[in-house]
C-alpha cells in the first residue's frame, strides 16, 4: 500500500518527531509500516522517506539509492557527488554524532516540496547512530551523496526541510533546473546567479 506523502505546510513536517521505544520498533505493525514506506519511496521515486512525510510524527526513516536511479547520469556528475548505490535500510531514532568540517553543495529536492529544487550546502561526511529494524544499536559513517541523504532525512525528523538550508536564489522548478542549470558546475551556476559564497 502506498502512503500519502504530505506537502510543505503540513504541521507534522515542522515538529520534532517522537523517539520510538524498543518494544514499538519490534512490533509486527512496524514491519507493515516499513513495507509501506519502502513501497512509497520506490514509487515516488525517491532515495529516502521519513515518517513525518507520511504524516507520522515518529523517528523513523528509510533510505535506498538504487543503481537504476543513476542510469543515464553523467559519470562525471556521479563522481563529483560521490554517488554510489545504497542498499535499502531503515533507521529508528537516528542521531548525527559528527559532521565533517568540509562541506559540499549540490541541488536537492524533496518529495514533500514536490516539483522544486535548490542548492543546499551540507557536511561532506557524517557519523550516524541509530537503531535498526531489530532495535539493535548501529553506527555508520557516510560520505558524499549518502551523507547528504542521511542529513536530509534526519532533518525531517527534527522538523526541518531543505528549504531552511537552501541558497534562496537557486530555488527552481525541476523543469527549469533541467532546462537551465543541471549541467553547470557550481562555480558557473553561482556566477550566473550572482550568488555570494
**Positions marked active-site:** 153
3-state secondary structure of 45: coil
Task: Please list the residues that pair with 183 across neighbouring strands.
Answer: none
Q: Which of 155, 196, 193 lies closest to 177 in space, CA to CA? A: 193
Beta strands of 51-136 (E only): which ranges?
A: 60-65, 86-99, 103-109, 116-123, 125-131
Place of cell 542521511: 150
C-alpha cell at 37: 514506506
How many residues in the chain? 197
161 touches 13 (CB < 8 A) = yes
Say whether the peptide bond before residue 189 is cis (omega within 30 degrees of 0): no
Amino acid at each position: 500500500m502506498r502512503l500519502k506523502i504530505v506537502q510543505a505546510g503540513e504541521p507534522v513536517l515542522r515538529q520534532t518527531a517522537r523517539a520510538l521505544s524498543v518494544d514499538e520498533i519490534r512490533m509486527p505493525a512496524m514491519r507493515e509500516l516499513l513495507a509501506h514506506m519502502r513501497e512509497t519511496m520506490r514509487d515516488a521515486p525517491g532515495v529516502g522517506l521519513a515518517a513525518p512525510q507520511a504524516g507520522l510524527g515518529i523517528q523513523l526513516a528509510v533510505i535506498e539509492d538504487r543503481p537504476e536511479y543513476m542510469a543515464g547520469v553523467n559519470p562525471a556528475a556521479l563522481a563529483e557527488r560521490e554517488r554510489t548505490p545504497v542498499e535499502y535500510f531503515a533507521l529508528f531514532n537516528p542521531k548525527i554524532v559528527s559532521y565533517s568540517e568540509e562541506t559540499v553543495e549540490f541541488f536537492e529536492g524533496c518529495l514533500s516540496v514536490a516539483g522544486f529544487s535548490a542548492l543546499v550546502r551540507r557536511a561532506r561526511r557524517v557519523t550516524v547512530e541509530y537503531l535498526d529494524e531489530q532495535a539493535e544499536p548501529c553506527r555508520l559513517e557516510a560520505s558524499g551523496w549518502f551523507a547528504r541523504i542521511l542529513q536530509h532525512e534526519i532533518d525531517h525528523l527534527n522538523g526541518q526541510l531543505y528549504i531552511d538550508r537552501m541558497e534562496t536564489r537557486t530555488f527552481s522548478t525541476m523543469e527549469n533546473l533541467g532546462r537551465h542549470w543541471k549541467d553547470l558546475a557550481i562555480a558557473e551556476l553561482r556566477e550566473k546567479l550572482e550568488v555570494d559564497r
